[in-house]
Amino acid sequence: MDLKSNEPFWLVKNGLLHSYPSLHDDLTCEVLVVGGGITGSLIAHQCVKDGYATVLIDKREVCNGSSSATTSMLQYEIDTPLYKLIEMIGEKGAVASYDACSKAIDDLGKISKKIKSEAGFTKKNSLYYAARKKDIAWLKKEFEARKNIGYDVKWLSENEILTKYDIHGSYGGILSTQGGSVDAFRLAHELLRYNKKRGLHIFDKTELVDVTYKKGYNQCTTASGAIIKAKKIVYCVGYESALMIPEKFVNLLSSFAIVSEINKKLYLQHKDILIWNTSEPYLYMRTTDDGRFLIGGEDEEFQNPPKRDEMIGKKEQKLKTAFHKIFPDKEFHADFAWAGTFGETKDGLPYIGEHKDFKNSYFVCGFGGNGITFSVTGMEMVSKWLQGKKHPLSEYFRFGR
């Protein structure tokens, strides 16, 4: 599956940071990580930290799937509002899921500091505003749900949002003090480079084509014929898991984004805030660390890569129109436009855990707008499982729930 259109901003901005060889010789390891994007790089980081002999493979060049197309907004807010999630899975699971995403943002900051990252990890506030009058009632209900469990949130009126952020057309919204952004493409590369120096074996352009389950290990065969013997496999293949697992568990969408030319005035006004709204599909906005403004949304059901890419020009115009409606007095000169694959689940939660058809294996699939923060939570979960311990979120993130 082609997970992105040509030339997403992060790929062009960063260029080819690092390259790795393909695998042609047999190997033995304790943990095989399949997938070299931001999720795989985080899971490999944890496995190396925990002392496991770890190998990571990717059928593309590393980080060239969804990680090069993500908008990298780091939110504790899950696509399913907290009050709705409580109704769906109960207060305990809903609160634990939100808390995990909140903790993940801070954990990612610690990881970035540890590896001396230059990927621009920045803590930011988050504004979630009502784009339609009919959304005010449920958004205020969501505000109360978050406030009641201790989140640092404030309700802003329409006028306050206009005065503070120059946003037109809002009907009030929730301001949260927890959020962040990062260049996930660069961060993934940095994590791989950091851990390569600590013993991680990395091979790109190496496709896993067959797994035979033996007593005590998995025999993994690559397209080149090389065999990897691994005690455990961790699949970090994101949306491509939908092609591996027979039952339908995620709905694939195409999401579109545009980035402006460098605009210091617009950047300085919004550099400390993530913005998203209640439109259907919702719009999301953030600045980049080099002084640009990003706006995304206009999601469509995923059909195939060519049809998705044909829509980029039309979606670019729609996103620019949306920008000028929100910021009627601001200029937006688009510099990049691209599309990526996005996935939504029935409850907005990820699928992280075992699957009955894959022995001695785990999946870490952080779908939705919280893909990166869910992947950070996945680090903790995989670490527990490899030690034979339980994790409290397993029940809520499992397949077949």
What are the tens digits of pLDDT across the range 50-60?
A: 999 999 999 99
Q: How many CA atoms lie within 13 A of 401 on its CB side?
A: 22
Residues β-bridged to residue 156: 173
Per CATH, the homologous superfamily of domain 1-121+181-250+347-401 is FAD/NAD(P)-binding domain (3.50.50.60)
Token representation of residue 16: 């080819």
Residue 374 parent element (H or E): helix 371-386
DSSP 206: -
Highest averaged pLDDT of the listed ranges 1-10, 226-235, 248-257, 331-340:
226-235
Work out the burial of residue 150: count CB atoms within 10 Å of its CB; fewer than 13 is exposed, 13-18 middle, 19 or more buried.
exposed
At 182-209, the pLDDT tens digits run 999 999 999 999 999 999 999 999 999 9
**What is residue 6's predicted lDDT score, i.e. its pLDDT?**
56
Tell me the average pLDDT across 118-131.
97
The tokens of 36 are what?
A: 């070299």
Q: Give the residue-averaged pLDDT of 85-100.
A: 98
Q: Give the model confidence (pLDDT) of 149-177 as tens digits.
A: 999 999 999 999 999 999 999 999 999 99
Q: Averaged over 109-130, what is the pLDDT?
A: 97
In this predicted structure, the answer to whether residue 340 has a pLDDT above a threshold of 90 is no
Whether pTM exceeds 0.85: yes
pLDDT in the model for residue 70:
85
